[in-house]
Amino acid sequence: MAIQPTSPSTPVDWSPASWQQREALQQPHYDDPAELAAATAQLASLPPLVTSWEVLALKQALAEAQDGHSFLLQGGDCAESFTDCTSPIISNRLKVLLQMSLVMVHGLKKPVLRVGRFAGQYAKPRSADTETRDGLTLPSFRGDVVNAPAFTAEARRADPQRLIQAHAHSALTMNFVRALIDGGFADLHHPEYWDLAWVEHSPLAAEYRQMVASIGDSLRFMETLAGPIASFSRVDFFTSHEALLLHYEQALTRQVPRHPGWFNLSTHFPWIGMRTAALDGAHVEYFRGIRNPIAVKVGPSVTPEQLLPLMDALNPDDEPGRLTLVHRMGNAAIAERLPPLLDAVKREGRRVLWVADPMHGNTESTSNGYKTRRFDNIRGELDQAFDIHAAAGTRLGGVHLELTGENVTECMGGARDLSESDLSRAYKSTVDPRLNYEQSLELAMLIVRKSVS
Ligand code: PEP
Ligand code: MN
C-alpha cells in the first residue's frame, strides 16, 4: 500500500510513537521488552477494526450533534472482559442501547447517535500500581488487555500476548455487532426483536410498550404516505474505548490510501481518561496527531486555565466534530465545578460537544465492601447538567453511561429501589458498578422528560 505523505493536519513533530518521549501514566510494566516488541509488531501487521470512512462519518455526525441536530448516547461496560465476549452478553448490551435510543428518539424528536463502549474497552486506569492482600503485594489488575484479575503472580503479570487477544476479541465483538445490525436486528419496524426476557416484570414495561406501539403507528402512517423508508431499517453503531494502553493504540494507528494523515483504526472514537489528560503527558501527545474524533474526560479538579490549552493542543483549528468534552463531576460538585468551564469555552468561542458522564463522579463504597453508585445521584447529576447548560447558554449534547443488558445488582436505587443488601445478589463487575437493563431504560426516560421540560 502506498503511504500518503504526512497531511497538513498532522503536526510536523508528531509520529505514532512520539508519545514515548513523554511521561506515560497508567501503563503496565512489561518485564521482557523483546516479548513486547514481538507482540506489537504482530499487532501492527493485523487488519484494523474500523475504516477511515467510518471514522470520518462519525466525525461529521458529531459535528451535527454539536449543532444540536442530534443527541449522543454513549454506553457500555466499565471494562469488557474476554470471558464476556459471548453472544448473549453482546446482543443484550446492544439491545439495551437500541431500546434506550428508541426512547430518546421518540421523546427528543431528534436523531440519536449511538456509540458503544465496546470492541476494545479492555484497559483500565487504577488508583494504585500494586495491591496487597494478606501480606502479598502484586501488580494491580489493569484490564484484560494487560493481565488477569485473579490474585496470583502469574495472573497479574503483564502479558504482551494479551494485546493480540484483545484485538481478536474486539474483532469478534465488532463482527457480531455488524452482522446483527446488517441483518435487521436494529430495524425500527421490529422493536420486538430487542425485548429482553425479564423486562416483562419491570414497572416500566407498560410505558415502554406504549412508546413502541406509538412509534410503530407513526412509522406505518409515514410509510403509507411515502412508501418504505429505508433508513428506518438500518441504524449506525459506532465504537469507542479509553485509549489508555498506548502500545496497543500505536500498533493500530495507520495510514490509508484515500485519506491523508493518521487514523487510530482500533475504534471510531477513542477517549482520554481523567487520570491521563495532562497537557504535557503521553496521551495528549498521542491524541493530538490522529484524525479521529476524540473525547476527553473532564473531572472536578480541572480549571479553565487547564482546559483551554488542552483544547488548543487537541483541536488547534477548531475543527467541527473533532472534540467532545465529557464532564464527570459528581452530583455534589457539578454545580460549583462545571459553570466556570462552560463560561470559558463559550467566551473563547470554541466548538465542542458537551457530554455528561453522571457515573464516575458518583462512585462510593458500601459498609459491606461493594463499590456502588446511587441511582438518585446519577439522576441528580444529569438533571443538574441540563439545567447548568441551559443557564450558561451552552448545550448538553449527549450522555456517557456505564451499563449492561444483564440483570445485575451493582447500582442502588431505581424503579425497583435496590438496596445495599441487594448488591450481593448479582454483583458481577470486577471494576465499576453498571446500571442494569431496567435502570438504563429508566434513565433514558428521565433524560427525555428532563430535556423536553
Ligand atoms: C471510565 O470511563 O471507566 C473511567 C475510568 O473514567 P474516568 O477517566 O472519567 O475516571
Ligand atoms: Mn468506569
> What would the pLDDT profile of 72-115 be if each residue is shown by its tens digit?
999 999 999 999 999 999 999 998 999 899 889 888 888 999 99
> Which atom number of ligand 1 is nearest to the Cα of residue 326?
9
Return the pLDDT at 244. 98
Q: Cell triple for residue 233?
A: 431499517
How much is the pTM? 0.94
* pLDDT average, residue stretch 414-423: 90
How far apart (Å, rounded) are the C-alpha atoms in residues 11 and 6?
9
Average pLDDT score, the chain: 92
Q: Which ligand is nearest to the CA of 298?
A: 1
Beta strands at 371-373 and 363-365: parallel, antiparallel or unpaired? antiparallel
Classify the complex by whether its ipTM is higher than 0.95, answering yes or no: yes
DSSP 37-92: HHHHHHHHHSPPSS-HHHHHHHHHHHHHHHTTSSEEEEEE-SS--GGG-SHHHHHH
* pLDDT average, residue stretch 190-214: 70
**CA 3 remoteness from chain centre:** 31
Return the pLDDT at 255. 97
Of 373 and 416, which is predicted with more confidence?
Answer: 373
Band of pLDDT at residue 5, cut at 50, 70 and 90: very low
Return the pLDDT at 231. 58
Atom 10, ligand 1: which residue's CA is nearest?
274
> Kind and range of the H or E element at 337?
helix 334-347
* pLDDT average, residue stretch 218-226: 71
Instruction: Give the amino acid at 340.
Output: P
Judged by average pLDDT, the poorest of 65-79, 87-101, 124-138, 222-236 is: 222-236
Return the pLDDT at 415. 82
C-beta of residue 380 within 8 angstroms of C-beta of residue 331: yes
How far apart (Å, rounded) are the C-alpha atoms in residues 145 and 414?
33
Return the pLDDT at 316. 96
Q: Is 78 in the pocket of ligand 1 (CB under 6 A)?
A: yes
Q: Is 328 in the pocket of ligand 1 (CB under 6 A)?
A: yes
**Substitution candidate for ligand 1 out of 126, 242, 430 with most atoms within 8 A of CB:** 242
Q: Is 274 in the pocket of ligand 1 (CB under 6 A)?
A: yes
> Which atom number of ligand 1 is nearest to the Cα of residue 274?
8
State the burial class of residue 285 (Cβ atoms within 10 Å of its Cβ: 0-12, 13-18, 19+).
Answer: buried
* pLDDT average, residue stretch 287-293: 98
**Substitution candidate for ligand 1 out of 334, 360, 371 with most atoms within 8 A of CB:** 360
C-beta of residue 251 within 8 angstroms of C-beta of residue 223: no
> Which atom number of ligand 1 is nearest to the Cα of residue 432?
3
Return the pLDDT at 156. 98
Return the pLDDT at 233. 55
Distance 360 CA to ligand 2 centre (A): 6
Return the pLDDT at 278. 97
Listed residue (243, 290, 293, 287) closest to 10, CA to CA: 290
Return the pLDDT at 228. 65
Distance 4 CA to ligand 1 centre (A): 35
What are the respective helix, strand and coil percentages of the chain, to the nearest 5?
A: 45, 15, 40
| 341-398 pLDDT per residue, tens | 999 999 999 999 999 999 999 999 998 889 999 999 999 999 999 999 999 999 999 9
| 169-181 pLDDT per residue, tens | 999 999 999 999 8
Distance 360 CA to ligand 1 centre (A): 6
Return the pLDDT at 134. 95
Q: Which ligand is nearest to the CA of 275?
A: 1
Return the pLDDT at 408. 93
Return the pLDDT at 197. 61
Q: Is 327 in the pocket of ligand 1 (CB under 6 A)?
A: no
Band of pLDDT at residue 193, cut at 50, 70 and 90: low
Distance 350 CA to ligand 1 centre (A): 24
C-beta of residue 239 within 8 angstroms of C-beta of residue 118: yes
C-beta of residue 241 within 8 angstroms of C-beta of residue 76: no
C-beta of residue 279 within 8 angstroms of C-beta of residue 309: yes
